[in-house]
Amino acid sequence: MSKTTESRPLAFRMQLKPGVAAEYERRHDELWPDLAAALREAGVYDYSIFLDEETMSLFAVLRLRPDNKKDALPLQPVMKRWWDFMADLMEVHPDNKPVEWPLKPVFYFEG
């Protein structure tokens, strides 16, 4: 696998409820150390979330190591606690996992 393919990001959209953007950002500013460790152990090495203030849509971009275990993250107790903690701020499934809409890559440049 080439370096470019290994580092190509995944992107998805999530949806905030109205009036909670500051609280969403505050909670992420205080990200739990055990959640950060779980993300690293799953192979996430770069993760950013951006807010479109007009629509309250969140745009997430993450990069994974080739040997990642991203699919095991939803099974982690710390991940489930985080979803419960964040559920009041965003659109979620019945188990409090955030609703995610995958975004189709249409352009990629690596200089």
The catalytic site residues sit at 28
Q: Does 82 belong to an annotated binding site?
A: yes
Bridge partner residues of 47 (DSSP)? 62
Q: Does 101 belong to an annotated binding site?
A: no
Q: Does 24 belong to an annotated binding site?
A: yes
| CA–CA dist 56, 21 (Å, integer) | 8
Q: Which residues lie closer than 8 Å to 55 by C-beta, 6 or more apart?
A: none
* Residues placed in the known binding site for substrate: 24, 47, 82-83
Which residues are documented as binding site? 24, 47, 82-83
